[in-house]
Amino acid sequence: MAAKKQDHSLTMWILIGILLAVVTALVGPEVVKKVPRVELVVYVLHLGGEVFLRLLKMMVVPLVMTSVMTGILGLGDVRKLGKPGAAAISYYFSTTVLAVVVGLIVVNMIQPGVGAVDPAQLDKIAAEHEQEIQAQDKAGKTEEPKTLNDILTNLVLMLFTDNLFKEAVETNLLPLIVFSIIFAGMLTTMGSRVDIIKQIIEQTNDAFMKFILLLMRLAPLGIYCLVAARFWEAQAEGHFLDELRNIMWYVLTVLIGLGVHAFVTLPAIYWLVKRKNPYTYLLQLANALLTAFSTASSSATLPITMEAAEEAGVSKRATDFVLPLGATINMDGTALYEAAAAIFIAQALGYPLGFVGMLTIAITATLAAIGAAGIPEAGLITMIIVLNAVGLPTEYVALILPVDWLLDRFRTAVNVWGDSVGAAVVDKTIPAT
């Protein structure tokens, strides 16, 4: 009971932190004009937010490896992994496809791109973006756009590595997860000879989770700094409210799509499998979802998601096994966003998309989302792939750039919510000990 009260109290303080951050960002730039020394506040906010984000990211690699191993070891026999593993992959793929379908339906119903942008302004936006690309080309900072073939090849290669330490340094989680599954699976077949190794892995994982609980005491302050710094910057540059007004219907369309998936599709799946109130579970995940919104990174939020899901009643074996994998490949919000954004750009350009075009976007958005990293604005990178797939000029991605940072936070929260529902669903398939 005391733990639940503490959990609700933390959620309240995180909410207060976000609200204060928005107020600070909206008022701050005007105050700076009158009191220049207040600019030091922006520096402190950036520094505080960066420190909190680094503390979270610091735990991602060691926690992912120990938690996945603990989850596999908890199954007792590697041969029992078949059913939970198949259930997890089936869930990830199904919900990503459903998210894309929701995005396609909503954007075609509302048609936010029709008449949203002045044709003269389109040329200006394209020209400005082209200049940026040329400047990056001269600096050697751009790469050739990736094709659908490249995505499929990369998805296979992403599973394996020739250097675990390099992947750990670069926070490439998928090969680390594959190694952890194979290594822990091997340990389950070696009997009592490896009891000490198993014990070390499990106790290390417990220690990491204890550290996360300690870190969560700083969450309200860290989240305040992160949100205030980013919103302040946008408001100071005139991008916040002005850009929201300019493409209001686009922002609204994406939020409606994400809302339908988060509050209808995923709860329906949860209820069908668990026969429990999904919205109660949603409230129990509040800390993780608010942190996801603040950090815009499902990977950085992973430790908090695991702790929150376990406190909500999901077994430790399910959270240890499902959530690290989900944070890497299950990107419902990103897939929905990419499909909606691609069609918005097509509508703004007056580019006709038939059934084949829609299907191409659906398939490409699904695969691109799986390949997206769990880092801030990773979906914007894979957006180029989706635009290329249907022949849309990639320079017009600049249409959505001003508000991408804001929508990224909402889609990250949906990604984390989808992972959490997946943990609860797969938990039903894990055999009791």
Q: Is 390 within a domain? A: yes
On the question of pLDDT at 394 being above 80, the answer is: no
Q: How far is CA 173 from CA 67, 178, 365, in A?
A: 13, 9, 21
Mean residue pLDDT of the chain comes to: 78
Q: Is 343 within a domain? A: yes
CB 217 within 8 A of CB 6: no
Among 13-27, 100-114, 299-313, whose mean pLDDT is lowest? 13-27
Residue span of the structural domain in which 355 resides: 2-427
pLDDT at 423: 93
Cα(141)–Cα(339) distance, integer angstroms: 26
Q: How many CB atoms lie within 10 A of CB 388?
A: 16
Among 57-66, 74-83, 143-152, 236-245, whose mean pLDDT is lowest? 143-152
Report the run of H or E that residue 209 belongs to, with start and end: helix 195-215
Q: Is 229 within a domain? A: yes
CB 306 within 8 A of CB 316: no
On the question of pLDDT at 432 being above 80, the answer is: no
Q: Is 43 within a domain? A: yes
Residue 220, phi then psi, degrees to nearest 5: -55, -40
Taking residues 188-209, report their average pLDDT. Answer: 84
Q: How far is CA 12 from CA 3, 228, 432, in A?
A: 14, 17, 35
On the question of pLDDT at 243 being above 80, the answer is: no
pLDDT band at 4 (very low <50, low <70, confident <90, very high): very low
Q: What percent of the chain has pLDDT over 90?
A: 18
pLDDT band at 5 (very low <50, low <70, confident <90, very high): very low
Q: Is 432 within a domain? A: no
Q: How many CB atoms lie within 10 A of CB 87?
A: 19
On the question of pLDDT at 117 being above 50, the answer is: yes
Secondary structure letter of residue 312 according to DSSP = T
pLDDT band at 122 (very low <50, low <70, confident <90, very high): low
On the question of pLDDT at 163 being above 80, the answer is: yes
Q: Is 186 within a domain? A: yes
- Give alpha helix (H) positions in 237-315: 240-246, 248-260, 266-274, 278-284, 286-295, 298-311
Q: What angle do CA 91, 97, 98 make, to 5 degrees?
A: 85
Q: What share of the chain is helix, strand, coil (3-state, %, to 5)?
A: 85, 0, 15
For tokens 């959505």, what's the residue?
400
pLDDT band at 2 (very low <50, low <70, confident <90, very high): very low
Taking residues 59-71, report their average pLDDT. Answer: 77
Which CATH number do you get for residue 405? 1.10.3860.10
CB 426 within 8 A of CB 91: yes
